[in-house]
Amino acid sequence: MGDPNIPPAPPIDGTDPLHSGKVRDLYRITAGEHAGRLLMVASDRISAFDFVLDSTIPDKGAILTRMSLWWFDQLADLVPNHVVSTDVPEQVKGRAVVCEELAMFPVECVARGYLTGSGLLDYRATGEVCGIALPEGLEDGSRLPEPLFTPATKAALGDHDENVSYDAVARTVGDDVASRLRDLTLAVYARAEQIARERGIILADTKLEFGSRTDGTTVLADEVLTPDSSRFWPADEWQPGRTQASYDKQIVRNWLTSSESGWDRSSGEAPPPLPGEVVARTRGRYVEAFELLTGETF
């Protein structure tokens, strides 16, 4: 069953729609040289607090797709990725990729170099994140002594991903796969954190998804190191003990939780549409992140 507040995937010639997610639509290619492969399309939809908003962010799908492709290139010597081709139907050109079908691991692979978000909430409650004890006195935005692998379960649509311990992952996928996912996640984070830092950006944390080929090869899939799956902060504005300026959809979250939106997060009702100014600022932040990281012009 799809989520009722996500529109069905629009038809694309030569494909069968398989799934509409919060941000991406997935199709099976039925004709041409890539028949049997998957077509993954990044929409301009934006989600916050487990809702897909009525408002869209213009060009967001194209920015996320180009950014993921750039990062896949930077990581190619560390881990193979699922991209087969960028030769896609005209109506989704620039925001879609042809990709391999993988057996996806049911784990959100999260690396954290800084303490914020759900990790901060866990730390304040228990002094730990995903069962890993941390030093006392850390604040929102504190740099961790070393990057951590802090996995989460993949939640059903509309539910929160739940942070879990490494042992819980090992029980789900086996010891060998769990250690491989942890090592790959931390290797990707280390490479990306260094690249971002050289460009004046802090990569606070990121969420990765991996799958397996039939021969057992572990492959990096979905999107990678975009403002939707990662927290990017301007390095020159970093100051622990407060909410950091960011290159992600924090602008949207901040507006929704402000009195200006008139939305009560605990009401269970969908959030209101975003004002044009919030949409424009959010798009601007996505473009800025893309251009700073890649050195390319959008």
pLDDT higher than threshold 80 for residue 84: yes
pLDDT higher than threshold 80 for residue 160: no
> How far apart, in whole angstroms, are the C-alpha atoms of residue 229 and residue 251?
15
Q: Is the domain of 55 the same as that of 165?
A: no
Q: Is the domain of 192 the same as that of 151?
A: yes
> How far apart, in whole angstroms, are the C-alpha atoms of residue 43 and residue 23?
6
User: Is residue 269 in a domain?
Assistant: no
Quick: pLDDT tens for 250-296. Answer: 889 999 999 999 999 999 899 999 999 999 999 999 999 999 999 99
Q: Is the domain of 91 the same as that of 144?
A: no
Q: Is the domain of 111 the same as that of 180?
A: yes
- Taking the whole predicted model, whether its pTM rises above 0.85 is answered as yes
How many residues are there in the chain?
A: 298
Q: Is the domain of 131 the same as that of 144?
A: yes
Quick: pLDDT tens for 194-203. Answer: 999 999 999 9
Quick: pLDDT tens for 102-146. Answer: 999 999 999 999 999 999 999 999 999 999 999 999 999 999 999
Q: Is the domain of 129 the same as that of 248?
A: yes
What are the b/e assignments for 218-237, b being 16+ CB within 10 Å?
Answer: bbbbbbbbbbbbbbbbbeee
pLDDT higher than threshold 60 for residue 158: no
pLDDT higher than threshold 80 for residue 21: yes
pLDDT of the residue at 155: 66
Q: Is the domain of 155 the same as that of 56?
A: no
- Given 71, 99, 127, the domain boundary residue is 99
User: Is residue 277 in a domain?
Assistant: no
pLDDT higher than threshold 80 for residue 154: no
User: Is residue 70 in a domain?
Assistant: yes
Q: Is the domain of 164 the same as that of 227?
A: yes
Quick: pLDDT tens for 210-256. Answer: 999 999 999 999 999 999 999 999 999 999 999 899 998 888 999 99
User: Is residue 272 in a domain?
Assistant: no
Q: Is the domain of 110 the same as that of 245?
A: yes
Quick: pLDDT tens for 51-61. Answer: 999 999 999 99
List C-alpha distances in Å: 231 to 179, 185, 281: 24, 15, 17
Band of pLDDT at residue 4, cut at 50, 70 and 90: low
| The dihedral formed by the CA atoms of 241, 245, 249 and 252, expressed in degrees to the nearest 10 | 80
Tally of structural domains, the chain: 2
Domain range for 61:
15-99
Band of pLDDT at residue 2, cut at 50, 70 and 90: very low
- In percent, the amount of the chain with pLDDT more than 90 equals 86
- Given 56, 83, 99, the domain boundary residue is 99
pLDDT of the residue at 244: 93
Contacts of residues 60-63 at CB distance under 8 Å and 24 or more positions apart, as own/partner, are: 60/283, 60/286, 61/23, 61/95, 62/94, 62/95, 62/298, 63/226, 63/286, 63/287, 63/290, 63/298
Q: Quick one: which of 195, 194, 202 has its CA closest to 234?
A: 202
User: Is residue 118 in a domain?
Assistant: yes
Mean pLDDT of 30-49: 95
User: Is residue 34 in a domain?
Assistant: yes
CATH number at 55 reads 3.30.200.20
User: Is residue 123 in a domain?
Assistant: yes
pLDDT of the residue at 143: 98
- Given 57, 80, 99, the domain boundary residue is 99
pLDDT higher than threshold 50 for residue 12: yes
pLDDT higher than threshold 70 for residue 38: yes
pLDDT of the residue at 5: 67
pLDDT of the residue at 159: 61
Q: Is the domain of 68 the same as that of 174?
A: no
Q: Is the domain of 66 the same as that of 133?
A: no
Q: Is the domain of 145 the same as that of 221?
A: yes
pLDDT of the residue at 206: 97
User: Is residue 1 in a domain?
Assistant: no
CATH number at 160 reads 3.30.470.20
